[in-house]
A = this chain, B = another copy of it.
Amino acid sequence: MSRRGPRRKTTDTLPALPPHGLRVVPLGGLGEIGRNMTVFEHAGRLLIVDCGVLFPDEHQPGVDVIIPDFTWLKDRLDRIDAIVLTHGHEDHIGGVPYLLRERPDIPVVGSRLTLAFLEAKLVEHRIKPRTVVVAEGDRRKLGPFDCEFVAVNHSIPDGLAVAIRTAAGMVLHTGDFKMDQFPLDGRVTDLRAFARLGEEGVDLFLVDSTNAEVPGFTVSEGELAPAIDTVFRTTKGRVIVSSFASHVHRIQQILDSAQQHGRKVAFVGRSMVRNMGIARELGYLTIPDGLVVKDLKALDRLRPDQIAIIATGSQGEPMAALARMANRDHPVSITEGDTVLMASSLIPGNENAIYRVINELTRWGANVVHKGNAKVHVSGHASAGELAYCFNIIKPTNVLPVHGEWRHLRANADIAIRTGIDPERVLIAQDGSVIDLVDGRARITGSVPAGLVYVDNMTVGGATEESLHVRRTLAEEGVVTIVCIVDPDTGALVEDPEYLAHGFPPEATDFSSATPAIQKALTKASNDRIEDLEQLEELVRRAASSAVHRAHRRSPLIIPVIVDA
C-alpha cells in the first residue's frame, strides 16, 4: 500500500481530448491493493467503474477506511452517466456512499447480488441509490458508453467484467476475476465472450494484477472440500468457522459439510447474518430446511458434535466475533475439543492480529485449522498462468494492468509482453495517471490529484498526512505539556514550569533540566520585545525539546502552555 517513491506530479492543465478519443483516469487501485476506481471520459461525458475503499495500515492509526480522491470529479459530477460495479467487495463498492454524498442520483449499475450488498451498506448511510440491475450478456447504453457485461468468476458470486464501446474503440475491464474451471455455481469466466471481443478488437485491456506475481494456476474452490470435510468428520466438539462474510461459495461448502455430518449451523456476526440472508433470498446460497438455526440459544440443547458456528473475524479484527471468542468476550466460549476452521486468506499486514487470535484460541484448547496447516483457502484472483491465457485469447492492442501494488502491475505487464504485446503499448500507470486512447494508441498524457483521503468515523478527510504524522510521533515518543506561568510585564517565569508527561515510563518524570533553557529563551524573548504568543510557544518548544532529548533520549510532542501570572 506504499504511496511513496517516484511520482508524476499533477499536471495543472491536461491536454485537450480529441472528440473521438477516450480518456481513462484510474483514481484508485494502481499502486495499492484496494479503493479500486476508474473514470472513463468520452464526448464530454463520464463513466465510473467501481468505487472502493482501502484499509489503513499500522502507519495510519485511527483511520477507518481510505477512499479515492474525488477532487478531479468535483466540478464534473453532473457529467457522470453511471457508476458500474463489477462485484460486491468493499474494495470495489465501499467508496460509493461517499461519492453519492456528492451527487445522490448517479445511476448505479451492477449485478443483482452486487447491488443488494451495496443497498444493505447504503442503509447505514441513509442513502437510497438509483440502481440498474444487469446480468452477463446484457448490453446497455450509458450515455455515450455502450457497455456489455461478461460473466467472471471470483471469490464472491455474480462478478462482471465490462466491455465499453465508444467511438474511440473498445475497452475491456476485467474487474477482479479468476478462471476456476469448476466453480460451485457452474458460472465460469466467459472466455468465449473474451475471445469474441478479442476478435472484434480490444483496444485497451484493463486487467486484474493481484496475483500476477504468483506462478502457475489458482486451484479450484472445490478442491477445499476434502480439508473442510475432514474437519467436520473428525471433530468431536463444536466446529467454529470463520470466513469472509461475502464469500458465499465458501460458506455454501461449509453448510453442505455441516448438513452431511449432522450439525446445525448458527451464523454469528452482523455482516455474516446480513449477507447470508441476502444471498439466500436471491438464490445464491442454498440452505436445506432446518439446517440453520435462528440464534446461538437454539444450539443449547444440542451436543457439541451437532453444532457448527459460522462467524466473522477471519482477519483477526479485534471487534469481530472470532477475536472476541478468543478473548472470552463472547457468548460462544471456546473449550477443549472445539475446532476452529479459518477458511480464508491471510491478508498481508493482518498476520500479527490473526496469529494473536489463533494463539488465544489454541490456549483455550481449541484445535485451529488454517491456511498455514491445511488446504482451506484458495485465492480469488487469476495467477500468472491464467493471465497469459487471457492475453493470448484477447490479444489487446494496449494493456493497462490494474488492481495491484507496483510490483504486481510490473509482473502483469511482463506477462503481457511475454505473450507478444508491444512493450510500448503496455502501460504501467498509477493512481491519478491520465491515459488517452486516441486512434487506437493509448498514452499517458498527464495526471490529476489522487492522494489518500482518510475517513474517520464516517467523516471524510477525518485525518491528514500531517495529523497522522503527529499521531505516530505521539505513539513513538509520547507527549510533554509544559505549563509556563510568566510575569505579564517582564515575560519571565514567575515559578518553575510544570511538566506533564504522557506515554513516558513512570520513572521518567524529571524534566527540570529543561527549565534553565526555557527561562533563558523567555528572557531573551522579552528583551527582543517578542510578545506574539505563538512565537513565544515556538521558542519554548525549541528550548525544551533539546533538553528533553538530552535527558530522556526521546523527541516527544511538546505542548507549551504560557499563562500570564
Contact = CB atoms under 8 A, between A and B. Distances in A.
Nearest to A33: B355
Nearest to A563: B563
A554 B467 CA distance: 14
A505 B368 contact: no
A557 B500 CA distance: 12
A483 B352 contact: no
A223 interface: no
A474 B503 CA distance: 8
A503 B563 contact: no
Interface residues of A, number: 71
Given A505-B463, A559-B502, A352 B363 contact: no
A409 B112 CA distance: 47
Contacts of A356: 1-2, 4
A349 B348 contact: no
Interface stretch (A54-62, A149-157, A202-210, A539-547): A54-62
Contacts of A61: 472, 475-476
A327 interface: yes
A277 interface: no
Contact of A405 (B355, B467, B561): B355
A41 to B, nearest CB: 26
Contacts of A476: 61-62, 471
Contacts of A477: 62
A451 interface: no
A502 B474 contact: yes
Given A1-B352, A355-B407, A406-B363, A475 B474 contact: yes
A352 B33 CA distance: 12
A273 to B, nearest CB: 25
Nearest to A478: B471
Interface stretch (A116-124, A225-233, A258-266, A454-462): A454-462
A561 B476 CA distance: 23
Given A457-B552, A461-B505, A479-B479, 17 more contacts: A1-B352, A5-B364, A61-B476, A62-B478, A348-B351, A359-B407, A368-B407, A456-B505, A457-B553, A459-B553, A461-B507, A470-B503, A471-B475, A472-B475, A474-B474, A479-B559, A481-B481
